């Protein structure tokens, strides 16, 4: 009876919300013409006692008993027979309904219900297993909730922009970094396609690659990582965009450190002979030894030559190191390109016009940048007698200016932007470095590569149409 009371406690707590479903299933089974389990149990119990009831009633009505005795004993026998039959039905069905309610509660995510049993029997073993299963599901649920919470917290706090797209390439998930990158809240991004968000080119076939791209919330070089997962059986793509600026800056710092060693070596190469010759001349004068005019002139010439070379070296370094921050003003791209093309007097530079567009930039610095690119193109073209051309095109977020030549092309572009590295006789090695620095100070980028068709190379300058913030000039160290 204590076991039954415990089961009754569990059933009364859950049957109000879950027992209705069991009754509806039983009614549906009855409507189909099949006997329910409860009805089969009742009929089995009635059939088990029916022979005894028939024998008792036959003996009562066939024996020498008064009608009062016959009816009283007959009703008592039939009542006991029906009472025990329904009791058997209830003792069998009630634990099953309780078990069904417990399982339904687990299916609905309610792990608070427990069956309290005090007897060791087959039914107690079943209920104990259900309790253990509920405890296990509860722990798994809490673990999943904690893991999901941790994952969401990490996604919100990391600087990597994370996007999730479904099979139709509609955005289903975005973190804070992604919102900042697209300059819109999640409410205005979710449900839109990758093409509408200008992320279609990021969902390529390569699982990991680098990409130069302009976004509303920033521009530069991005690391693109693609992954796939399934949610509710549907395939999804996971896109992660991380800014490579920090890593590139660290590499740039290492490059500047190497540059300092180069400068130190250059200074030592110039100062060592100057010091040696100056010391020799001083020693000659102190000994009051009559030196020939030719020796004095030769020594002074060496000192002057090395001093002049050192002066040129330091002037080039100072020009690169002291580039001022750009002063922004409206610049019409067409006028800027045509003006620079007209400055080249050695040959005619062809102009391929694009859309009439205006940007905010430092016109003087951009002019110096483009002059360097055009001069390099003309120098390369003069070796082969080809032609040089310049043009521009505009997209939604940026303007692209390109300078193309028919020269011999690049043997290697590994050291193009290394300071003081040059392949031209008499070159200073700072022209392209200065160009890249001007482009970066304007929030843009510059690339130089061989042409895909034919000989020669093409220099491409990308500048944003509008800038959300003014980047600080790059520091040397």
Quick check: helix, strand or coil at residue 463? Answer: strand
The predicted pLDDT at position 461 comes to 92
The predicted pLDDT at position 477 comes to 30
User: Do residues 445 and 459 lie in contact, with contact meaning Cβ atoms separated by under 8 Å?
Assistant: no
The β-bridge partners of 460 are: 402, 447
How far is the CA of 404 from the CAs of 261, 388, 415, in angstroms?
35, 6, 20
Question: How does pLDDT run along the chain (477 residues), one tens digit per residue?
Answer: 433 443 344 344 444 444 444 455 545 444 445 677 778 888 888 888 888 888 888 888 887 888 888 888 889 888 888 888 888 888 888 888 888 888 888 888 887 777 777 677 777 888 888 888 888 888 888 887 787 777 777 777 787 888 989 888 899 888 888 888 888 888 888 889 988 888 888 887 667 788 888 888 877 778 888 888 887 788 888 888 887 776 777 777 776 776 666 666 566 666 766 777 777 766 766 665 555 566 667 777 777 766 776 676 666 666 656 667 888 889 999 898 888 888 776 777 888 888 888 899 988 888 888 888 888 888 877 666 677 889 999 888 889 999 988 877 776 665 566 655 555 554 455 677 778 888 888 888 888 888 877 778 888 999 988 654 444 433 333
User: Do residues 203 and 237 lie in contact, with contact meaning Cβ atoms separated by under 8 Å?
Assistant: yes
Give residue 21's region: left, alpha or beta (phi > 0; psi -120 to 50): alpha
Q: Please classify residue 306 by burial: count the beta carbons closer than 10 Å to its beta carbon, then call 0-12 exposed, 13-18 middle and 19+ buried.
A: middle
User: Do residues 175 and 156 lie in contact, with contact meaning Cβ atoms separated by under 8 Å?
Assistant: yes
The predicted pLDDT at position 401 comes to 92
- State phi, psi for 112 to the nearest 5 degrees: -85, -20
User: Do residues 111 and 138 lie in contact, with contact meaning Cβ atoms separated by under 8 Å?
Assistant: yes
Q: Is the C-alpha dihedral spanning 216, 444, 415, 475 positive or negative?
A: negative
Which helix H or strand E contains 44, and what residues bound it? helix 37-62
The residue among 181, 171, 173, 141 whose CA lies nearest residue 155 is 173
Residues in Cβ contact with 282 at an 8 Å cutoff, skipping those fewer than 6 apart: none
The residue among 436, 443, 434 whose CA lies nearest residue 465 is 443
The predicted pLDDT at position 95 comes to 81
DSSP annotation of 187:
G
Q: What is d(CA 127, CA 132) in angstroms, rounded to the nearest whole number?
A: 9
CATH of 249-321, one of 1.10.3470, 1.20.120, 1.10.287, 1.10.8: 1.10.287
Alpha-helical segments (H) within 108-229:
122-157, 176-182
Residue 363 CB neighbour total at 10 angstroms: 18
Residue ranges of the chain assigned to CATH 1.10.287: 249-321
The predicted pLDDT at position 297 comes to 72
Strand ranges for 183-252 from DSSP E: 208-215, 218-231, 234-243
Q: What is d(CA 475, CA 437) in angstroms, rounded to the nearest whole number?
A: 10
Residue ranges of the chain assigned to CATH 3.30.450.20: 158-243
Q: What is d(CA 450, CA 458) in angstroms, rounded to the nearest whole number?
A: 6
User: Do residues 469 and 423 lie in contact, with contact meaning Cβ atoms separated by under 8 Å?
Assistant: no
The β-bridge partners of 420 are: none
The predicted pLDDT at position 88 comes to 85
For 247-255, the CB contacts below 8 A with 24+ separation are 248/221, 252/474, 253/477, 255/418, 255/419
Rg (CA), the chain: 45
The β-bridge partners of 236 are: 229
Q: What is d(CA 10, CA 129) in angstroms, rounded to the nearest whole number?
A: 15
Q: What is d(CA 174, CA 461) in angstroms, rounded to the nearest whole number?
A: 31
User: Do residues 7 and 95 lie in contact, with contact meaning Cβ atoms separated by under 8 Å?
Assistant: yes
CATH of 158-243, one of 3.40.50.12280, 3.30.450.20, 1.10.132.10, 3.20.20.220: 3.30.450.20
The β-bridge partners of 211 are: 222
Q: Which CATH class is domain 329-464?
A: alpha beta
Quick check: helix, strand or coil at residue 408? Answer: coil
- Does the pTM exceed 0.75? no
User: Do residues 36 and 92 lie in contact, with contact meaning Cβ atoms separated by under 8 Å?
Assistant: no
Q: What is d(CA 357, CA 367) in angstroms, rounded to the nearest whole number?
A: 16
């Amino acid at each position: 009876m204590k076991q039954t009371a415990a089961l009754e406690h569990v059933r009364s707590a859950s049957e109000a919300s879950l027992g209705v479903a069991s009754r509806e299933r039983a009614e549906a089974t009855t409507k189909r013409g099949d006997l329910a389990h409860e009805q089969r149990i009742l009929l089995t119990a009635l059939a088990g006692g029916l022979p005894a009831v028939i024998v008792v009633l036959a003996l009562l009505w066939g024996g020498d008993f008064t009608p009062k005795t016959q009816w009283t004993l007959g009703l008592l026998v039939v009542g006991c027979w029906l009472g025990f039959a329904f009791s058997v039905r209830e003792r069998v069905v009630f634990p099953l309904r309780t078990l069904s309610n417990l399982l339904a509660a687990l299916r609905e995510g309610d792990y608070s219900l427990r069956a309290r049993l005090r007897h060791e029997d087959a039914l107690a073993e079943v209920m104990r297993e259900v309790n253990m299963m509920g405890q296990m599901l509860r722990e798994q649920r809490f673990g999943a909730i904690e893991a999901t919470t941790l994952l969401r917290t990490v996604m919100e706090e990391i600087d990597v922009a994370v996007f999730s797209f479904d099979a139709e390439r509609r955005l289903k998930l975005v973190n804070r970094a992604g919102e900042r990158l697209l300059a819109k809240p999640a409410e205005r991004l979710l449900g839109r396609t990758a093409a509408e968000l200008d992320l279609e080119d990021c969902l390529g076939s390569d699982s990991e690659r680098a990409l130069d791209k302009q976004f509303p919330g920033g521009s530069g070089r991005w690391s693109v990582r693609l992954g796939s997962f399934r949610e509710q059986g549907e395939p999804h793509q996971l896109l992660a965009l991380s800014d490579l600026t920090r890593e590139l800056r660290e590499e740039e710092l290492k490059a500047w450190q190497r540059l300092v060693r180069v400068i130190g070596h250059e200074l030592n190469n110039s100062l060592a002979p100057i010091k040696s010759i100056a010391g020799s001349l001083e020693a000659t004068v102190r000994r009051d030894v009559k030196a020939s005019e030719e020796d004095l002139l030769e020594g002074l010439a060496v000192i002057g030559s090395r001093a002049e070379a050192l002066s040129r070296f330091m002037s080039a370094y100072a020009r690169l190191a002291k580039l001022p921050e750009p002063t922004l003003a409206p610049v019409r791209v067409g006028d800027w390109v045509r003006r620079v093309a007209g400055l080249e007097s050695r040959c005619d530079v062809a102009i391929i016009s694009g859309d009439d567009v205006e940007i905010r930039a430092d016109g003087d610095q951009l002019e110096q940048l483009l002059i360097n690119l055009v001069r390099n193109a003309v120098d390369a073209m003069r070796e082969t007698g080809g032609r040089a051309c310049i043009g521009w095109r505009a997209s939604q977020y940026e303007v692209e200016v390109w300078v193309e030549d028919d020269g011999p092309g690049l043997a290697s572009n590994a050291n193009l932007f290394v300071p003081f590295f040059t392949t031209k006789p008499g070159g200073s090695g700072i022209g392209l470095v200065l160009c890249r620095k001007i482009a970066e100070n304007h929030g843009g980028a510059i690339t130089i590569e061989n042409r895909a068709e034919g000989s020669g190379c093409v220099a491409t300058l990308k500048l944003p149409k509008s800038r959300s913030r003014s980047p600080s000039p790059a520091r040397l160290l």
